[in-house]
Amino acid sequence: MLPPVRLDRFARHIVLPEVGGAGQAALAKTTVVLIGLGGIGAPALQYLAGAGIGMLVLVDDDMVDESNLQRQTIYREGEIGRSKTELAELWVREFDPGIEVRRVGQRVTPANAAQVVAGADLVLDGCDNFATRLAVSDACVAAGTPLLSAAVGRFQGQVGAFAGHLPGEPCYRCYVGDAFDADDCDSCADDGMLGAMAGWAGTFAALQAIRVLLDGSGGIGAPQWGKLHLLDGLKPGMRTLSIAKDPACKGCAR
């Protein structure tokens, strides 16, 4: 059970039959690794922290740039040039000192990915490049850790839940293939992005993360492995694709 001092904080969760005291206590025992503290990561962090996740591992190697402020909601003008992981840790500590935080101020590569995801109940990847996404996905499959992958550009977002370590379930690499392992570029700077679109994708990723974390103790529904939700801010609307497991996938095939 939660300590009595935490009950008021989460009262609106606890009163939901789908979450309840047991679900809230379960969330407080979880560790979530958040890869990328940008347009997806910043709003996702705010709602994961709000949900009382027990331990947040904050991963980014970047500094705040003035052009980030239009969508990366935890940073302020006076913080330009400072480390995103340091600022994000400070934000969490001021928001809720009851949450444990660990910082990883490095880019995730195949060499360090296993170490970064170790101990996680879930990894939420909102980073800005395919090379990192694939390294994270492979490490999640190897560690048996669920992965929520979220991306956004212009007026489009994608949020998918992957559990490639489970029989018959695809991983992120099943979805994108191997072509992007060396691809370091992303179209955000070239193509632009509506700030609120990143907020939608990031907060929806936080909702899906909580769905996965409550699987087994709560009732907000199945984790939706292999489902990719496409968010369209122009329409506006959402549609859902099912990703098939690739029997030849180098990330998750046995």
Q: Which residues in 66-196 belong to E strands, given as ranges?
A: 100-104, 122-125, 147-153, 156-162
Among 171, 198, 228, 243, binds Zn ion (CB under 5 A): 171
Q: Decide: is 251 part of the binding site for Zn ion (CB under 5 A).
A: yes
Stretch near Zn ion under the rule CB under 5 A, chosen from 18-26, 41-49, 185-193, 243-251? 243-251
CB of 159 to Zn ion, least distance (A): 18
How buried is residue 63: exposed, middle or buried, by Cβ count under 10 Å (0-12/13-18/19+)? middle
Collapsing DSSP to helix, strand or coil, 101 comes out as strand
Nearer to Zn ion, 178 or 232 (CB): 178
Q: Decide: is 136 part of the binding site for Zn ion (CB under 5 A).
A: no
Query: Of residues 127, 171, 174, 188, which has the active-site annotation?
Result: 188
Rg over alpha carbons for the chain, rounded to the nearest Å, is 17
Q: Decide: is 188 part of the binding site for Zn ion (CB under 5 A).
A: no
Nearer to Zn ion, 141 or 188 (CB): 141
Nearer to Zn ion, 142 or 207 (CB): 142
Residue 220's identity, in one-letter code, is: I
CB of 123 to Zn ion, least distance (A): 15
Least Cα distance to 58 among 29, 82, 91, 28 occurs for 91
State both tokens at 4: 């009595």
Structural contact between residues 149 and 172, judged by C-beta atoms closer than 8 angstroms: yes
CB of 106 to Zn ion, least distance (A): 25
- Judge if the upstream peptide bond of residue 4 is cis by omega within 30 degrees of 0: no
Instruction: Reply yes or no on whether 249 is catalytic.
Output: no
State both tokens at 44: 């996702």
Among 107, 173, 211, 229, binds Zn ion (CB under 5 A): 173
Number of residues located near Zn ion, criterion CB under 5 A: 7
What residues form DSSP beta bridges with 100?
55
Nearer to Zn ion, 34 or 171 (CB): 171
- Ordered DSSP codes for 12-28: HHHTSTTTHHHHHHHHT
Among 74, 117, 152, 252, binds Zn ion (CB under 5 A): 252
The CA distance from 137 to 124, in Å, is 10
Q: Decide: is 174 part of the binding site for Zn ion (CB under 5 A).
A: yes
Interacting positions 206-235 with Zn ion (CB under 5 A): none
Quote helix, strand, coil % in the chain, to nearest 5. 35, 20, 45
Among 164, 202, 223, 233, binds Zn ion (CB under 5 A): 164
CB of 141 to Zn ion, least distance (A): 7
Q: Decide: is 249 part of the binding site for Zn ion (CB under 5 A).
A: yes
CB of 172 to Zn ion, least distance (A): 7
Nearer to Zn ion, 87 or 147 (CB): 147
Structural contact between residues 116 and 102, judged by C-beta atoms closer than 8 angstroms: no
What residues form DSSP beta bridges with 103?
58
**Where do contacts with Zn ion occur on this chain (CB under 5 A)?**
164, 171, 173-174, 249, 251-252
Return the active site residues. Answer: 188
